[in-house]
Amino acid sequence: MRISIIIPAHNEEKFLQTCLVSFVSQSQPPEELIIVDDNSSDDTLKIATRFSQKYDWISVLQRKSTDEHIPGKKVVDTFNYGLKHTSSYDLIGKFDADIILPSNYFEQMRIHFQSNWKLGMCSGLLYIKKGEDWFYETIATKTHIRGPIKLYHKACFNKIEGLRPATGWDTVDTLLAKYHGFETFTDEHLKVKHLRPTGHGYSTKNYKAKGEALFKMRYSLPLAKIALLKMALQANSPKLYLQGVFSYLGAWFSGKKSFVTSNEGKFIRRLRWKGILNKIFNI
């Protein structure tokens, strides 16, 4: 199965070389790796170019965009810029530049997709370093496919109509995949090192965007409150909960356009409530 990977990169000189070494050390590397340099002011482009000159399956693109940090949208827009330059593929992935993959990552991904024709999305798990040891990054359950390391089957990617250019893209894609009858899977044996823990770039703007994203995914207000409370507890900041709720209500009153259709929204709400009840009552 042909694999194309796109890495959107903005000022990633600290991590990019280590990340790319893990790509070129794969037992079965992807057929194509496209690094999209998005307005970097450091040596990101230089590092990426050095690898592209050595490996013919690695290419580098430059994208000029605003320096403003736009949660979700900026990275998806950069990914979509790279997507326009891909060749034929069976599996497509948007990977981050701050990860270290185990050497058999893509070999195992191929095995999983080849052995299950209903599999739409697949990934390993992310681990962060604490002291001298690596621990699972507990911002999500081990069944959740994380944005920095996931692969989509082309049929699934097309059916969900690609990635939504906003915060929440890496949640709504999973929900829509399930709505369209695809399965998702995380391989717990594939431990990916996350060199920059999630949440490092926290800002009030990020959490306001999360509240708006929950509205756009057609979460009910009670569901949104539960999701935002979980985020606030993980960040140990009650303020984040209030910011998210006010943002959700602001999107509601201003009539923001949804990510999903009415029927997709009904499915998402049922799926989310089922998951909550399973955790509470173990049913």
Distance CA 210, CA 198 (A): 14
Q: Count CA within 13 A, CB hemisphere, residue 36.
A: 24
pTM comes to 0.90
Lowest mean pLDDT among 24-33, 96-105, 106-115, 141-150: 141-150
- Per-residue pLDDT, 68: 62
Looking at domain 3-194, its CATH architecture is: Alpha-Beta Complex (3.90)
Provide the residue type at 147 as one letter: G
Look at residues 178, 102, 181, 104 and name the one whose alpha carbon lies nearest to residue 145.
Answer: 178
Confidence grade of residue 275 (pLDDT, cut at 50, 70, 90): confident
State how far the alpha carbon of 151 is from the alpha carbons of 18, 43, 124, 178, 260, in Å: 20, 27, 10, 15, 21
Task: Give 66-75's long-range contacts (Cβ < 8 A, gap of 24+).
Answer: 66/39, 67/39, 69/201, 69/203, 69/205, 71/166, 71/167, 71/205, 71/206, 71/209, 72/164, 72/165, 72/166, 72/167, 72/168, 72/169, 72/209, 72/213, 73/165, 73/166, 73/167, 74/10, 74/38, 75/8
Confidence grade of residue 197 (pLDDT, cut at 50, 70, 90): confident
Distance CA 77, CA 236 (A): 31
| Mean pLDDT confidence for 77-99 | 96
Please determine, for residue 189, whether its predicted confidence score (pLDDT) is greater than 80: yes
Distance CA 32, CA 56 (A): 9
Please determine, for residue 198, whether its predicted confidence score (pLDDT) is greater than 80: no
Q: How many Å from the N-terminal Cα to the C-terminal Cα in the chain?
A: 38
Residue 100: strand pairing partners = 193
| Mean pLDDT confidence for 68-94 | 90
Which has more pLDDT, 259 or 15?
Answer: 15
Helix or strand run (H / E) with residue 160: none
Helix or strand run (H / E) with residue 151: strand 151-153
Distance CA 62, CA 121 (A): 28
Q: What is the mean pLDDT of the chain?
A: 92
The domain locations on the chain are 3-194, 204-281
Which has more pLDDT, 3 or 197?
Answer: 3
Angle at Cα 97 formed by Cα 94 and Cα 98, nearest 5°? Answer: 125
Spell out where 22-149 has E strands: 32-38, 58-63, 91-94, 99-100, 119-130, 133-136
Helix or strand run (H / E) with residue 221: helix 221-235
- Per-residue pLDDT, 237: 79
Distance CA 79, CA 229 (A): 30
Which has more pLDDT, 132 or 60?
Answer: 60
The percent of residues in the chain predicted with pLDDT above 90, rounded, is 78
